[in-house]
Structure 1
Amino acid sequence: MSLRSAGTIALAVSFAFAAQHAGAQQKAEAGAGADPVAHLVGQLDLEKYKATIKSLTRFGDRRQGTERNRQALDWIEAQLKSYGCSNTERLQYQFTEPAVRGKPAVQAGGGAGGPPGQGGSTLFGRRAPIGVNTDPMLQPDERLRALNAEQTPQGTSLRENVYCTKIGATHPEEMYIVSAHMDGIGFGEAANDDGSGTALVMELARIFSAPGVETERSIRFVLWNNEETGLNGASAYVAQRQHLQCIESPPGSGRYPEPKWLGMIQHDMMLFDHGMPVPKLDAAGKPVLDAKGQPVYTAPREQRAEADVNIEYQAQSKQADGSARLAWAFRAANDKYATHYPAAVGFHMTNTDSTPFMDLVPSISLRENERGQQIGAGWNPHWHQPTDLYANYSDQDFLLGLNAAQTTLAGVAQLAGARVKKK
């Protein structure tokens, strides 16, 4: 627990990450028989997590409706199959591209991606500008600018989500949904939003699909499309499949194409918790002023010592009580199994793919910051910008995402009844 103190976390910056993982792996292997959750958490690896994010950035910002988006879906599906997730499927839906997506000031708690008023909290403090970059020329990298050149075609066309399922050995008719969105915008690489969440879900699919790993209940790993246009991929899934829950098909087969939803866990932006914006300084160390003579604020350069994994539920939802219990169960899992960063629970979940589920099943989201109070106040300057690049994140940032993975893996493993067969 001493590692969680602010001073020790700051000191941990100088640790060798490979050595840290080796120690965690040895501990997990030593206790595999007694604690299968510790064993599974020990299979998470910082370099593998980073490599998956890096591979996703090969497809640029993966903007929905484009060829680079379709290629990313194909790659994700191939990776899931290579992990042993052989029942990989796609859900298709029709989407109509709106005339305009995103104005320069997408305010916390409203805008595209969630019903107005569900952000709930307002930051009383410094704010930095937020918005969606729609100018490709703000991307200085010519190679990346060319990769992201294709825009979403106007009109109605086919979109797809991709998912695979770990079938429960005892209760295949019940499942937890673990998800992230794979599309992005902003003419960058969408490394954080939401390559970091996509890679997290893929890593969990890899570990739960490994030989010898069993769960009592099913787990579905879903990568949504069209999050950036208003949660359309997740909404299409709810519309098509909510009424199919727990229906055996064919009757007597013991197969449930859509098991009963027990909980929905979304991951959206996992890497950047650098703290409240600070005054931007010029070369002489003086505050930079805007055209009105007011200080310009920007995010600190390094991950803050108080960085944490934010677990949020929506207090206004019909499933608020169950969602709160789910959030605190994940907080407890973080306390026991995460290695570096603690977790904090909040009740203003909004603007993420768990929103379409939140009145139907206990739903939570894991993020780097509170969506309404912090991300919406400009705590992440790379959000929807050309600077959302793999190269702009440090190992401290990636480690925050890995700790979120540890949190979800541990929480889901406990809830789904995971066990590891001895070799």
Structure 2
Amino acid sequence: MNRHPAVLAIFALGVSGAPAVLPAQPAVLPSPAIAVDSADPVAVLVSRLDLERYKATIKGLTQFGDRRQGTKRNRDAVDWIEAQLKSYGCTNVERLTYQYAPPAPTPRPGGAAAGAGAASRPSGPPVAAGGGRARGVRTRTGVNTDSLRQPDARLRALNAEPSVPGERQEVYCTKVGTARPDEMYIIGGHMDGIGWGEAANDDASGTAIVMELARIFSDPAVQTERSIRFVLWNNEETGLNGARAYVEQRAKLQGIEEPKGSGRYPEPKWLGMIQHDMMLFDHGMPNADGTMRREQRPEADVNIEFQANSKMAKQSAEFAWFLHGANAKYATDYPAQVGPHMTNTDSGPFQDLVAAISLRENERGTQVGSGWDPHWHQPTDLFSTFTDADFRLGLNAAQTTLSGVAKLTNTTVRKPSR
């Protein structure tokens, strides 16, 4: 039986693969000091993740406002991401180019169009099947399209340019494997946002994880047997169009050596895809009156989801449980839980082709979709909205993915010469 590579390595983690500066805010208890085992390269790499660096990367992305696709601020953010990756030592930074045109407005009785005013109102992703059944208190969700709900005049002006159809680009870079350069894991997050805020959580928080992992793995002293690709998707908010374009253009290129005999594989065979989308806010269920608790809840966790009705559900579940085990061994603050309802995120276009999972702050369909994050697509999705306890949840997601992928790619760290 052909099993996902995660299963072959799962017991190497030592855990079971079964369910085993900001505004004044409440003080955050420091994480317990954890000794780094210098003989364990995974622990060494995890120790290189730093809360302040993670926050700084998110802050850098928020300088471009909501980074809505089809605007100059989005293109400027793509340029910035590319420059940052190159500054980390990523020597093979590339762009994928595609065309995007929003669907035509749907006519309404009487001649009015459902899409009237679409230039200032983004279209949301389609509702996907398999999102689970909502339970508990629910509050209304939606996409803010009213600029006046953003009280910051500077941010209103920055986000004022409407989206226009046309060419889109997204950036990626690759850590080339030393033994199996023809195989790779894909690590992704989407860099575009909507809502007249800064898209700090959705999804600068996930984009920053991908960028920080690219920084750490790009160290020349870090060697991986398999390749790792770090992708910053565009057009997620319009229906996963950037990820879909990647699959359409590159799936057929998998594992092809180009040129022949060169040992180079422009698109290594996909072994797994990990998406990071909204990583900061796990404050629990809304109160009966629709309000939310202000502080991150102590029992917050990293949600690792696969899609139970996908063609690769079995392999994806095994992949998810492998990362669950990595979290149990290497994450410092927040545990992980596994769920079967991955939906409406950039791992979706991959789910029938390869083991695909997503990491989130909450269950996408049953919790985020029921109003458990009041900042989702709202003007309040700002860097200043979140506390260190929130940012630390995202950092723990980074620890989870980094440690799991480092294990799967048999990563080593060369000691500095004296």
Alignment TM-score, normalising by the size of structure 2 = 0.88
Q: Percent identity?
A: 67
Partners of 2:136 and 2:174 lie apart in 1 by: 43
Q: Does the residue aligned with 2:101 lie in a helix, a strand or coil?
A: strand
What does the per-residue CA deviation read over 1:20-62, in whole Å, with 9 as the maximum and x for residues that have no partner? Answer: 5xx44xx22xx22x21000000000000000000110000000
In the TM superposition, residue 300 of structure 1 has moved relative to its aligned partner by 1.4
Q: Does the Cα contact within 8 Å between 2:28 and 2:389 map onto a contact in 1?
A: no
- Change in Cα spacing, 1:204 to 1:116, as seen in structure 2 (3 Å) is closer
Partners of 2:103 and 2:152 lie apart in 1 by: 28
What does the per-residue CA deviation read over 1:249-284, in whole Å, with 9 as the maximum and x for residues that have no partner? Answer: 0000000000000000000000000000013xxxxx
Equivalence for 2:394: 401
In the TM superposition, residue 100 of structure 1 has moved relative to its aligned partner by 6.3
What does the per-residue CA deviation read over 1:211-250, in whole Å, with 9 as the maximum and x for residues that have no partner? Answer: 3000000000000000000000000000000000000000
Equivalence for 1:216: 225
Partners of 2:328 and 2:236 lie apart in 1 by: 30
Matched, 1:328 2:321: yes
Partners of 2:49 and 2:93 lie apart in 1 by: 22
Partners of 1:413 and 1:71 lie apart in 2 by: 31
Partners of 2:124 and 2:358 lie apart in 1 by: 17
In the TM superposition, residue 99 of structure 1 has moved relative to its aligned partner by 5.1
What does the per-residue CA deviation read over 1:109-141, in whole Å, with 9 as the maximum and x for residues that have no partner? Answer: xx943553221x122211111000011111000
Correspondence for 2:351 among 358, 363, 369: 358
Partners of 1:114 and 1:165 lie apart in 2 by: 30
Equivalence for 1:117: 129
Correspondence for 1:131 among 128, 136, 142: 142
Equivalence for 1:378: 371
Q: Does the residue aligned with 1:298 lie in a helix, a strand or coil?
A: coil
Instruction: Give the counterpart letter for 2:412 in structure 1.
Output: R
Equivalence for 1:45: 50
- Change in Cα spacing, 1:13 to 1:171, as seen in structure 2 (3 Å) is farther
Q: Does the Cα contact within 8 Å between 2:128 and 2:343 map onto a contact in 1?
A: no
Partners of 2:169 and 2:383 lie apart in 1 by: 25
Q: Over aligned residues, Cα RMSD in angstroms?
A: 1.7
Q: Does the Cα contact within 8 Å between 1:174 and 1:246 map onto a contact in 2?
A: yes
Instruction: Give the counterpart letter for 1:421 in structure 2.
Output: R
- Change in Cα spacing, 1:241 to 1:219, as seen in structure 2 (3 Å) is same
Instruction: Give the counterpart letter for 1:51 in structure 2.
Output: A
Equivalence for 2:41: 36
Partners of 1:161 and 1:245 lie apart in 2 by: 19
Partners of 2:400 and 2:148 lie apart in 1 by: 39
Equivalence for 2:156: 145
Matched, 1:93 2:119: no
Instruction: Give the counterpart letter for 1:419 in structure 2.
Output: T
Correspondence for 1:225 among 225, 228, 234: 234
In the TM superposition, residue 15 of structure 1 has moved relative to its aligned partner by 2.7
Partners of 2:318 and 2:144 lie apart in 1 by: 37
Q: Does the Cα contact within 8 Å between 2:275 and 2:359 map onto a contact in 1?
A: yes
Equivalence for 2:290: 297
The aligned runs of 1:303-318 (5 Å cut-off) are 303-318=296-311
Equivalence for 2:180: 171
Partners of 1:98 and 1:147 lie apart in 2 by: 25
In the TM superposition, residue 88 of structure 1 has moved relative to its aligned partner by 0.3
Partners of 1:194 and 1:256 lie apart in 2 by: 30
Matched, 1:338 2:347: no
- Change in Cα spacing, 1:100 to 1:193, as seen in structure 2 (3 Å) is farther
Any unmatched runs of 5+ in structure 1?
Answer: 1-11, 104-110, 280-295
Q: Does the Cα contact within 8 Å between 2:129 and 2:343 map onto a contact in 1?
A: no
Q: Does the Cα contact within 8 Å between 1:112 and 1:351 map onto a contact in 2?
A: no
Matched, 1:193 2:205: no
Q: Does the Cα contact within 8 Å between 1:95 and 1:158 map onto a contact in 2?
A: yes
Alignment TM-score, normalising by the size of structure 1 = 0.87
Q: Does the Cα contact within 8 Å between 1:36 and 1:418 map onto a contact in 2?
A: yes
Q: Does the residue aligned with 1:143 lie in a helix, a strand or coil?
A: helix
Partners of 2:386 and 2:140 lie apart in 1 by: 20
In the TM superposition, residue 402 of structure 1 has moved relative to its aligned partner by 0.2
Q: Does the Cα contact within 8 Å between 2:144 and 2:377 map onto a contact in 1?
A: yes
In the TM superposition, residue 14 of structure 1 has moved relative to its aligned partner by 4.0
Q: Does the Cα contact within 8 Å between 1:97 and 1:152 map onto a contact in 2?
A: no
